[in-house]
Structure 1
Amino acid sequence: MIGVGTNGYATIGARKIGSGYDVPEGVDIRGRYDEEFAKILTKDALQFVVDLQLEFRNHIKYALECRKESKRKYNEGAVPGFDPATRYIREGEWICASVPPAVADRKVEITGPVERKMIINALNSGAKVFMADFEDALSPSWENLMRGQVNLRDAVNGTISFHDKARNRVYKLNDQTAKLFVRPRGWHLPEAHIFIDGEPATGCLVDFGLYFYHNYATFRQTQGAGFGPFFYLPKMEHSREAKIWNNVFEKAEKLAGIEKGSIRATVLIETLPAVFQMDEILYELRDHSVGLNCGRWDYIFSYVKTFQAHPDRLLPDRVLVGMTQHFMRSYSDLLIRTCHGRGVHAMGGMAAQIPIRDDPVANEAAVELVRKDKLREVKAGHDGTWAAHPGLIPACMEIFSNNIGNAPNQMKTVKREDAANLTEEDLIQRPRGVRTMEGLRLNTRVGIQYVAAWLTGSGSVPLYNLMEDAATAEISRVQNWQWLKYGVELDGDGLGVKVTKDLFGRVVEEEMARIESEVGKEKFRKGMYKEACKIFTRQCTAPILDDFLTLDAYNHIVIHYPKISSRL
């Protein structure tokens, strides 16, 4: 219940909500007031976000409408392909701006949410780059988002520390740290705690705007002109979306009074339509690009989403959809050829394994899988790779260093000309493998547990010796949806059994019992497993596939206040 406290601020219970912030005209902040957050949500910083929102919101809305139109065409039988109208870009002799020396060597990058301890450990991990994530690895609660901005400001300033009271240990930065990249949310995600002219702000403009405003000057002092800030850009489907980002960067540079090209970004190629737009994406960002990345988990999710109305393109068990599948290997090879032809990095995908501390034999087997995956990447021509856990960095670094040597990357030595003959069919070839009852059960078990963690504020979750994030949860969801929609007949132990709503209902019930057994009754009772089960089940059985699981789940973590003035 909302009331007015004795201090004049609107309150819920004993908490201030939004009303302590000094905001520009037309801005409503609906998250709670916090003195540290107020140092991020200054009037000038918010005005910077407002300027970005007002200039680009219609371009963003148009881009999202174009996504809907493309989906309609795919659902009517079309398949993605190269655009004849932009052939001149793909065949043109142009290159991107030179990669800054500060980030020439990106052999191993670690990723994780913008949590304080995580940031310190990742920057100290020995990786070349840490990608601090506001997107798939973060549950976008008000606390997480604003605390993340505070943490990143302190990290850029070199003052970040964390006192782990349980271990009585203080964490601080080493003398040598990884380079910091930041990934804002995708275009589709709103920020419902900040309203601008009566509508939610665009999440990525909030993430980018607040971080850039508070930190570009420090980057300039410590790195020099043209050396950052650095970003990762997610979820694009078309070069028109890259053009928006390029314009955002140019406006930010102009408002800040810094040289064009100071901001640099790597684009994640993690949607099926985007693989046919890689040259065009780099062309639009050519003054600000430092490469492309194989965002392979979201890419698998996008394959199902793109072909949701194509019953001839059903995925096998998710554990079988790896980089050895023809369409995945083709995607990687084309990305390498494209990036090296344009003078930027071709980054490999995520090693999602985490150390298995209580089983040395199983741990060594898991690390060996990582080594094989990274050896495949480096020999294919990738300049670097991703790891989800600090414990994997030595193995990944060893593989890349042994094969690249003293060179910072492979841009000049590996051109991958054999990828020149890749066709549209190579990039969409049907994946092969079995579909099993265990695959259905694993999807269900992982999906429910991930959503439960996400609802309680954790966006990066260790499950069954893998680090799961929103991308892998999306694979679980859309694969279940696909198998249900087309009544897939299961292989293996489920031979002859078709996936129906009745079967899925029994699987959900049994997997919920298993989850309760695994996590313990007390944790299960206190957690949001039942709420997560409802959300995940509804998404899997919906007649129409939702574009993103997180859009539905977001409604359950945002507190919807009646519209109130930021000052009463």
Structure 2
Amino acid sequence: MSTSALTHRVRVLAAPGDRHEKILTPMALDFVGHLAAAFGERRLDVLRERRRQAIRLAAGSPLDFRLTTSAIRADRSWRVAAPAPGLTDRRVEITGPPDRRMTVNALNSGAHVWMADFEDATSPTWEHVIGGQLNLLDAIERRIDFTTEAGKEYRLGDDRLATVMVRPRGWHLTEEHLEFDGRPVPASLVDFGLYFFHCAQRQIDAGHGPYFSLPKLENRGEARLWNDVFVLAQELLGIPRGTVRATVLIETITAAVEMEEILYELREHSAGLNAGRWDYLFSLIKTFGHRTDFLLPDRAKVTMTTPFLRAYTELLVRTCHRRGAHAIGGMAAQVPGTDRAAHETAMAAVRLDKEREAEDGFDGSWVAHPGLVPVCREVFDGVLGDRPHQIERTRDDVEVTAADLLSVRRISGPPTPEGLRTNIAVALRYFNAWLRGSGAVALYGLMEDAATAEIARAQIWQWLRHRVVDRETVLRMLDEESAALGAEYPWADVDAVRALFERTALARELPAFFTPDAYTRHLVRHAEARS
């Protein structure tokens, strides 16, 4: 790869760490610099367009399928690329942060795919960002292991390992420990670029390829930007065009009306779409939270069988299958427990959810814990049998309008005191864990990530805005839950946690994400710059 075109190289602003030099090589940093030079301004254009779209929708512009792209939707001839090696059968996918223990457990879990999540499941400390890259490199070279303080050993097994799919951080985030041309490098390009540089050819040599999951996309233009990143990255490293594959998580309401366009933009690199839940609801509140007809009840009551979410998932399956793409279902976040009755209840809920997805036409689904792999696989085995997927089931019976995707009022209802308290308690406990470096946290029987905190704080903000809860009640519960947090975790910085909650849930305007501000305030640790 030639680096002669670079006038400013990437500088590392963090202190050296153990084995970091294996990832932060001069050539790897130059590769990231090429990506930053080529796409840094376009990323800013993406963020500006997001703000313009938010203003238009808040002002009353309708959200609908775009007239200007109707020809793409009407043209039945185009299809995405055929499934890549290791991505044909995706009936069970496991997600989690690329820490050392999760890397071993996920690869050994029996799942077909592991989505190594630098986004919602990772608290992006510098050590976690580079440590995650080291863990992926070690895993590909089959030299990874892990021993707990109690002496329990984790090693890769001899059986088939899960195919690795990496989720980089979203376009809204930066990596402030790396600087290019005087500015922080876009976090998406750091996570993608370092993994691609070190592991793309290694994955190809191992019989798979460089595969990715793309978060937080809001429209086709953002998919086009990613496609251009893939094209340039492959060109720079001499990797055949079309080797990259990417799955897009449809987790914003604006992306839901552009599913086909997103597949179209990525078609030579597409590995399909998958469904979210908490981030999707969070997006709904961010987009329409100022309107009373989008007021949501307790989040526990907004299940995937509610009409507007069912319209979204059925549209996703139909869209993917008519274009030859995989449709992957949503997350099962339950954590298997030692209490037998609670465990059986949790497993029954997982089974019911996965049965719905498999019967609706999904080709696979997500789980957050290795203990859920067997039940998910059993359900999809029962529907798929020996087939690797059911893409041939095109669901032409499904007809979904934009109004169907927005039919929230049919589930409206006042929040309950229990729902309010749960949101406060979960947000505080997740913030506490995130600030201390844990992005995936078991809370009240569920494995939670940043999406949980986002929907929890957004709901509180929405309820306060529309005065369906009063501020005095929220502050009283906040006092009580803050005290409970301090008692439960004596080492917690309760003041910092509470301040983060107040800035992101109680402000007049809802911050787009809690992570950028919290990251800059609490996780960035600069050292003397080095090239």
TM-score (norm 2): 0.96
Per-residue Cα deviation, 1:79-108 (whole angstroms, up to 9, x for no partner): 421110000001112111111242110001
Aligned to 2:466: 486
The structure 1 residue matched to 2:504, chosen from 510, 534, 539, is 539
Aligned length: 523
2:61 equivalent to 1:61: no
Which residues of 2 match residues 445-464 of structure 1 at below 5 A?
445-464=425-444
Q: Is the 8 A contact 1:124 1:173 kept in 2?
A: yes
The structure 1 residue matched to 2:206, chosen from 222, 226, 238, is 222
CA distance, structure 2, for counterparts of residue 446 and residue 46 of structure 1: 38
How far 1:125 sits from its partner (Å)? 0.3
How far 1:78 sits from its partner (Å)? 2.5
Q: Is the 8 A contact 1:77 1:310 kept in 2?
A: no
CA distance, structure 1, for counterparts of residue 120 and residue 484 of structure 2: 26
Which one has more relative contact order, counting CA pairs under 8 Å at least 6 apart? Answer: 2
2:86 equivalent to 1:116: no
Letter in 2 for 1:503: T
2:60 equivalent to 1:77: yes
Q: Is the 8 A contact 1:449 1:529 kept in 2?
A: no
Aligned to 2:3: none
2:346 equivalent to 1:366: yes
CA distance, structure 1, for counterparts of residue 526 and residue 366 of structure 2: 39
How far 1:77 sits from its partner (Å)? 2.0
Letter in 2 for 1:76: A
Q: Is the 8 A contact 2:331 2:368 kept in 1?
A: yes
2:36 equivalent to 1:36: no
Aligned to 1:353: 334
How far 1:369 sits from its partner (Å)? 0.5
Q: Is the 8 A contact 1:539 1:549 kept in 2?
A: yes
2:211 equivalent to 1:211: no
The structure 2 residue matched to 1:423, chosen from 393, 401, 412, is 401
2:356 equivalent to 1:376: yes
Q: Is the 8 A contact 2:251 2:283 kept in 1?
A: yes
Q: Is the 8 A contact 1:268 1:295 kept in 2?
A: yes
Change (3 A) 1:439 1:35: closer
2:386 equivalent to 1:406: yes
Letter in 2 for 1:302: S
Q: Is the 8 A contact 2:92 2:364 kept in 1?
A: yes
- List gaps (5 residues or longer) in structure 2: 1-5
CA distance, structure 1, for counterparts of residue 209 and residue 525 of structure 2: 36
Q: Is the 8 A contact 2:105 2:154 kept in 1?
A: no
The structure 2 residue matched to 1:247, chosen from 202, 205, 228, is 228
How far 1:427 sits from its partner (Å)? 0.5
How far 1:217 sits from its partner (Å)? 1.5
Q: Is the 8 A contact 2:13 2:529 kept in 1?
A: no
Query: What secondary structure does 2:271 align onto?
Result: strand
Which protein shows a greater Rg? 1
CA distance, structure 2, for counterparts of residue 40 and residue 560 of structure 1: 19
- After superposing on structure 2, the runs of 4+ consecutive aligned residues of structure 1 that deviate more than 6 Å are none
Query: What secondary structure does 1:525 align onto?
Result: coil
2:152 equivalent to 1:152: no
2:513 equivalent to 1:548: yes
Change (3 A) 1:52 1:341: same
Per-residue Cα deviation, 1:172-196 (whole angstroms, up to 9, x for no partner): 3433111110000000100011010
Per-residue Cα deviation, 1:54-78 (whole angstroms, up to 9, x for no partner): 1011111111111000000111123
Q: Is the 8 A contact 2:250 2:276 kept in 1?
A: yes
Letter in 1 for 2:346: A
Query: What secondary structure does 1:110 align onto?
Result: strand
Aligned to 1:15: none
Change (3 A) 1:79 1:437: farther
Query: What secondary structure does 1:74 align onto?
Result: helix
CA distance, structure 2, for counterparts of residue 101 and residue 188 of structure 1: 31
CA distance, structure 1, for counterparts of residue 278 and residue 363 of structure 2: 19
CA distance, structure 2, for counterparts of residue 395 and residue 529 of structure 1: 39
Per-residue Cα deviation, 1:14-54 (whole angstroms, up to 9, x for no partner): xxxxxxxxx99443211111251111000000000000001
Query: What secondary structure does 2:343 align onto?
Result: helix
CA distance, structure 2, for counterparts of residue 156 and residue 251 of structure 1: 23
CA distance, structure 1, for counterparts of residue 8 and residue 227 of structure 2: 27
Q: Is the 8 A contact 2:336 2:445 kept in 1?
A: yes
2:494 equivalent to 1:511: no
Which residues of 2 match residues 147-186 of structure 1 at below 5 A?
147-186=131-170
The two structures, once aligned, show a CA RMSD in angstroms of 1.5
Change (3 A) 1:411 1:528: same
Query: What secondary structure does 1:148 align onto?
Result: helix
Aligned to 2:530: 566
Q: Is the 8 A contact 2:104 2:154 kept in 1?
A: no
Aligned to 1:234: 215
